[in-house]
Amino acid sequence: DTGVSQNPRHKITKRGQNVTFRCDPISEHNRLYWYRQTLGQGPEFLTYFQNEAQLEKSRLLSDRFSAERPKGSFSTLEIQRTEQGDSAMYLCASSFGREGRNEQFFGPGTRLTVL
Amino acid sequence: AQKVTQAQTEISVVEKEDVTLDCVYETRDTTYYLFWYKQPPSGELVFLIRRNSFDEQNEISGRYSWNFQKSTSSFNFTITASQVVDSAVYFCALSEANAGGTSYGKLTFGQGTILTVHP
């Protein structure tokens, strides 16, 4: 069990540029989640997938954000036309999604800085 | 709507002291899950414990114990004989569940409590 991995770990970009992050969940987990965490705050839910289906999206996920999980394995989160307010840590988590096994395991995060 | 409140912003203790982290939650659902996560300085969130709303039995696991009280919507977490390595931000989180008891998945986190354990 290698854990959840995220790439890149850090991303610095200029305002207006597009960025894409990748998350590789724990292999046997069917659920994958994205959260955003700003300094001094708890993580905030963005969206989640069960296999390849995107089941819920937060109102925080504006039209500039899109997430995919094309084959039910890894996922990508893209932010278009980045704004300085997008600067945050983007966290990915995965879980079994079954009763009694629903704890989420988090990756190390991707820290985004928008200049 | 779900809400989790961790009223303690920061706690500072000396090694070997016991420390309790408070968590109060709000939900309209009768079936839900509660979690505690630890975020050390390295940044990665680490799962600690999970509790179902239909099981109010409190437990002890090593130096960790928790007190779940539905009547007061509280889910407090205690570290016994704290150690310097316990220094981290601790988050309480809530997940609602469907009728089958399976979590909907979305976690609602509190603001976190910064715990500093001094040698």
Q: Could you give the 3-state DSSP secondary structure of residue A65? A: strand
Tokens read off for A99: 């009763």
Average pLDDT over residues B46-61: 82
Interface of B with A in 32-91 (CB under 8 A): 33, 35, 37, 42-47, 50, 91
- Measured from the Cβ of residue A55, the count of other Cβ atoms closer than 10 Å reads 14
Cβ-Cβ contacts under 8 Å, A33 against chain B: 105-107
A-chain residue closest to B109, CA distance: A42
Cβ-Cβ contacts under 8 Å, B50 against chain A: 102-103
Average pLDDT over residues B19-34: 92
As a whole number of angstroms, the distance between CA A102 and CA B81 comes to: 29
Q: What pLDDT shows up at residue B51?
A: 86
Q: What pLDDT shows up at residue A33?
A: 95
Best B45, B54, B114 residue to mutate vs chain A (most A CBs within 10 Å): B45
* Dihedral over alpha carbons B78, B19, B25, A111 (to 10 degrees): -100
Interface of A with B in 49-78 (CB under 8 A): 50, 55-56
Tens digits of per-residue pLDDT, B73-111? 999 999 999 999 999 999 999 988 765 555 567 899 999
Average pLDDT over residues B22-29: 94
Residue with the bigger pLDDT between B42 and A4: it is A4
Q: What pLDDT shows up at residue B103?
A: 58
Residue with the bigger pLDDT between B46 and B99: it is B46
| Closest to B81 in 3D by CA, of B59, B56, B60 | B60
Q: Are A50 and A33 in contact (CB under 8 A)?
A: no
Q: Tens-of-pLDDT digits for all 115 residues of chain A?
A: 579 999 999 999 999 999 999 999 999 888 999 999 999 999 999 999 989 999 888 888 889 999 999 988 999 999 999 999 999 999 999 998 666 567 899 999 999 999 9
The pLDDT confidence band at residue B8, using thresholds 50, 70 and 90, is very high
Q: Could you give the 3-state DSSP secondary structure of residue A112? A: strand
Residue with the bigger pLDDT between A102 and B46: it is B46
Q: What pLDDT shows up at residue B104?
A: 64
Q: Give the contacts of B71 (CB within 8 A, at least 6 positions apart).
A: none
